[in-house]
Amino acid sequence: MNKPLTWGTFCPVGSDSGELSYCVWATAWGPMGAVCGPEGLRRIVLPHYRFKDLGELLSFEHPEATKDEGPFAQLIDLTRGYFNARRVSFDQIPCELPDEDSFTGKVHRAARAIPYGRTRSYSALAAMIARPDAARAVATAMSKNPLPLVVPCHRVIYADGRPGGFSAPGGIEQKKRLLAMEAKAPAGSQ
């Protein structure tokens, strides 16, 4: 189990100064990257791009961010484990989520509760936030998720078992690959 983090221990650059940091690192599936701000993780990019291209993308999107691997040490460790088919939990990673009273904030928080190797339908997620009539709106909220893996939108599928959409780089094939890997990971592998 991961020990709880405060944002200052995860991203010390952002905690005091209000600055942004970004980092790109290698995983078994390829390079991935992230951006953190004063309140937590702000953006994750799953493996899809070449290392140099991903660094350029993040620095272009966040020109005020400083390249710094240090604040991301635990996230790097967790994602490397994840992409080596280890059951990891991102529960304790602080994130900049939409306001908890907003629809999207409720959806993202509910999605964070979906455990590794499990899925929920868009309609089940809607019911979890007491909006059983809002499955399509849940799908829209998931499509705008800037924090895949940490807010595991890949675990949200259609009620009939079809995978549904996936707006992260790699699209639906990436979603299927993530779900297949999670389904095969041995129990207790951490």
Which residues are annotated as catalytic? 153
Pick from 40, 36, 7: which is nearest to 21 by CA? 36
Only one residue has tokens 């309140």, namely: 39
DSSP annotation of 87 = -
Only one residue has tokens 């189990």, namely: 1
Contact 15, 8 (CB under 8 A): yes
C-alpha torsion sign, points 139, 137, 42, 2: negative
Helix (H) or strand (E) holding 129: none
Per the structure block, which two tokens stand in for 184? 């095969």
Could you tell me which residues come within 8 angstroms of residue 163 by beta carbon, excluding any fewer than 6 positions away? Answer: 157, 172, 175, 176, 179
Per the structure block, which two tokens stand in for 143? 């499509």
Buried b (16+ CB within 10 A) or exposed e, 141-159: bbeebbbbbbbbbbbbbee
